A and B are shown apart, each in its own frame.
Chain A
Amino acid sequence: MSLEQTINDWTKIRQRHPLPGSHPDLKWAMAIDLDACTGCNACVVACYAENNLPVVGKEKFAAGQAMHWIRIERYWNEGDEVTPHQGAQFLPMLCQQCEAAPCETVCPVGATNHTPDGLNSQVYNRCIGSRYCSANCPYKVRYFNWYSYPDQEKAWPEPLPMQLNPDLTVRTKGVMEKCTFCVQRLMDARNTARNEGRGVRDGEVLTACAQACPTSAITFGNLSDPHSMVAQKWRLQRVELDKDRQLKDIDGSHPGLRGYRIFEDLRPYPSIMYLERVRDNQA
């Protein structure tokens, strides 16, 4: 721990991120097929169950203080709003685990960082609740604990505490939280794999939302493993992690490509690729 070490590591600590080859072994990523998504909200319920999310109630939900780490957004074409129960397009939005996350730089105490396996971490016990990370997030996928749900708001009246997941904490008021790609499952899978002296196999660990989706719209896996489903999907769509403009958008020469990342031009390098809905008329 010294000036000497700083000088030795100078090249490494002056590099920006992501660069090609930033994650040689393990990079968690997702692909969400919007054509397969039916808007059933099973992923949302699974996330609530897996991650000890409090149900805030009708009043607080209307006030915009809900805690859904994954949310299904509904969009209509112009003219279709008259029949809201038909024709909506569904977009599951969750933390994009950006490689160059705008939330990471602005936390005053460093409660959010980028892990070596490509996740954007949120450290609950370090968070002092300044909410700058949420202000800077372009997707607004960060959720703040506006109230103390476990004790004061009684979000889990007896016997519901029996249903809580013991692998992660229940957050108190004043702390920011967001989707972690079910990091408790990932840690468990990595530990098991390490104990057995191997890498994590594709499909061995799934996030709660990917597991619950009835149409398999959500694909989750290791992007650095060239044989994983998610890496194959990314490759098929010619989407690369460390580029800020993909082949699909550069010119119209590849009309069959459906893969895109949201707000790519802001250059947060998100880890979730969305597959565009196949339209039933010429777009």
Chain B
Amino acid sequence: MNTVTQAKEKDIREDIAWAQINRDVLASLAQPRGTYWAIFAMAFGMFLVGVGCEAYQYEKGLGVSAMNNPDVWGLYIATFIFWIGMSHSGTLLSAILHIIHADWRKPIYRFAEAMTTFSLMTAGLFVAVHLGRVWQIYYALPYPNERWAWPNFQSPLLWDAMAIFTYLSSSILFLYVGAIPDFAICRDNATGWRKTFYEKLSLGWMGTDRQWRNFRVAYLVIACFLIPLAVSVHSIVASDFAMSQQPGWHITSFPPYFVAGALYSGCAAIITLFIMLRYTFRFEEYMTMPILDKTARLTFAIAMVWTYLNLIEYSSVWYGSDQVAKETLIQRATGPYAFYWWSMNFLGSVVPFTLIFKKLRANLTAMMIVSLLLNLGMWLERWMIVTPTFSHGYYPWTWDHTFFPSWVQWGIVFGSFGWFGMLFMLFCKLVPSVSMYEVKEMVFHRKLAKVHVREA
């Protein structure tokens, strides 16, 4: 007879009552207290700093950002790519892990998917901030006009526009459709304006078998579409660089490198938000330590993939005959950006090795710090792709210029984190951040599995 020993901690307790799941998650949607408003005010303050800097830049012109010829792209493009990258986490958890039936994703994918949507919205801000004439941004859309002028479909920036629009709208639809059963639960337990709100959102979901059948297929189909979409979106963003011929950019491995960096960045952000939500809403039953452990191990695996692609890029440049690319690489390592470049390599490749140690994975404070450092490394990576190529490109006349962003650029980057924070906090109080029906499914199936084990 097999007695199941209690050596390992479980991803979730099988005997949680479903009514309990409802209660715990709905408690997180209750009227917020003082701390919430204080943090929201902080995020709003950060956002206002960004708005102020952008207002100044809009008024005076982009010159205040200290960009110049040839350094025409600065932190705006770097942070844009950073936010798009962070958005891949949701797709990874929602779609990829769904298709391989990894059910430990069920308690955490909702907020990850929300993170995807809000990251994309934040990235969209940077497109506007970066343009010289924002008020004519609609020129990039294919709309009928009497000049017969359509956008230039050959431009990778335009592919970006189409891909990100597709990704953002698909993400919002995926998040919304996946949350319909949860909105039904909220509707059944709400009063006042919230009841009307959830009534509208849940579209009259009643959990009939016809609805569930179609829901299951729709969810799977959209997940199957979303995976190649996510890969293609970040590959297209990578094409902004790979399709040019500048040294340090014209590298074939950029699309998979960017996708790996995106998954990396997203996983680290999931860990950060996981720890914050678990603490704030007391989700210890659902966002359990074994799930954090699995997420940390996944992050480590992706970190190694990213490290490999990074090192491959350096080795192929070092080993090849492209003289200019080699000089650009040397300049990255020894020039004015050396400190940031080496930090990026350290934070991105060495720090993830802390995730090997089980004791560290179980320590929440350590994981919080590690995840923030990993994301800092990823942000530095984006910056180190954009700026050093300008400081040492093909043309000798452009060398010997050192370009560092002005306070305007830093202010806007700072403000974007405030914007993201605001959106996420609004989400936490309006949408259940743990997917109740999926957790019920997880508990149900694990209970069934346990029964079968006992019977065996």
Contact = CB atoms under 8 A, between A and B. Distances in A.
Chains A and B directly touch (beta carbon < 8 Å): yes
Interface of A: 60, 63-66, 71, 73, 75, 93, 102, 105-110, 126-132, 134-136, 138-140, 142-148, 152, 173-176, 263, 266
Given A110-B149, A129-B133, A140-B393, A147 B68 contact: no
Interface of B: 60-63, 66-73, 130-134, 136-137, 139-140, 149-152, 154-158, 161, 240, 243-246, 390, 393-398, 401, 403
A146 B62 contact: yes
Nearest to A134: B72
Nearest to B66: A63
A175 to B, nearest CB: 6
Contacts of B150: 110
B246 to A, nearest CB: 7
B137 A128 contact: yes
Contact of B132 (A108, A136, A145, A152): A145
A65 B155 contact: no
Nearest to A93: B397
Q: What are the 8 tightest A-B residue pairs by CB atom distance, in nearest-first order?
A: A129-B132, A174-B132, A146-B63, A64-B68, A110-B152, A174-B133, A173-B61, A147-B61
11 contacts: A64-B68, A93-B397, A105-B243, A107-B152, A129-B131, A129-B132, A140-B393, A145-B132, A146-B61, A152-B60, A173-B132
Nearest to B150: A110
A266 B137 CA distance: 31
Contact of A136 (B133, B151, B152, B245): B245
Contacts of B68: 63-65, 146
Contact of B395 (A108, A132, A136, A138): A138
A27 to B, nearest CB: 23
Contacts of A63: 63, 66, 68
A179 to B, nearest CB: 13
A128 B132 contact: yes
A266 B243 CA distance: 13
B131 A130 contact: yes
Given A110-B149, A128-B140, A143-B69, 17 more contacts: A63-B63, A106-B154, A109-B149, A109-B151, A109-B152, A110-B150, A128-B134, A130-B131, A131-B132, A132-B156, A134-B70, A136-B245, A139-B394, A140-B69, A140-B393, A146-B63, A147-B60
Nearest to A173: B61
Contacts of B70: 64, 134, 140
B136 A102 contact: no
B62 A173 contact: yes
B140 A142 contact: no
A175 B394 contact: no
A60 B397 CA distance: 17
Contacts of B131: 128-130, 174
Nearest to A65: B68
B397 A135 contact: no
A163 B60 CA distance: 25
B151 A110 contact: yes
A106 B246 CA distance: 13
Chain A CB within 10 Å — which of B60, B130, B155 has the most?
B155
A148 B132 CA distance: 11
Contact of B69 (A65, A109, A127, A173): A65
A263 B246 CA distance: 12
Contacts of B240: 132
Contacts of A106: 154-157, 243-244
Given A138-B395, A139-B395, A146-B63, A108 B158 contact: yes
Contacts of A173: 61-62, 132-133
A266 B394 CA distance: 10
B132 A144 contact: yes
Nearest to A139: B395
A26 B169 CA distance: 48
Contacts of B246: 135-136, 138
Contacts of B398: 140
A147 B60 CA distance: 6
Contacts of A144: 62, 69, 72, 132
B73 to A, nearest CB: 6
A138 B132 contact: no
A66 B67 CA distance: 12
Contacts of B396: 75
Contacts of A174: 61-62, 131-133
A177 to B, nearest CB: 11
Contacts of B154: 105-106
B421 to A, nearest CB: 28
A152 B61 contact: yes
A143 B132 CA distance: 12
Nearest to A149: B61
Interface centre among A75, A129, A152 (most CB of B within 10 A): A129
A134 B396 CA distance: 16
A140 B396 CA distance: 10
B385 to A, nearest CB: 12
Contact of A135 (B72, B151, B394, B403): B72
Contacts of B152: 105, 107-110
Contacts of B156: 106, 132
Nearest to B148: A1
Given A108-B157, A136-B246, A266-B394, A175 B133 contact: yes
A130 B61 contact: no
Given A66-B69, A140-B395, A135 B61 contact: no
B7 to A, nearest CB: 57
Contacts of A66: 69
Nearest to A73: B397
A136 B161 CA distance: 19
A135 B74 CA distance: 11
A267 to B, nearest CB: 9
Contact of A130 (B67, B130, B403): B130
Contact of A109 (B62, B139, B401): B139
A109 to B, nearest CB: 4
A127 B60 contact: no
B397 A132 contact: no
Given A64-B401, A128-B132, A174-B132, A108 B61 contact: no
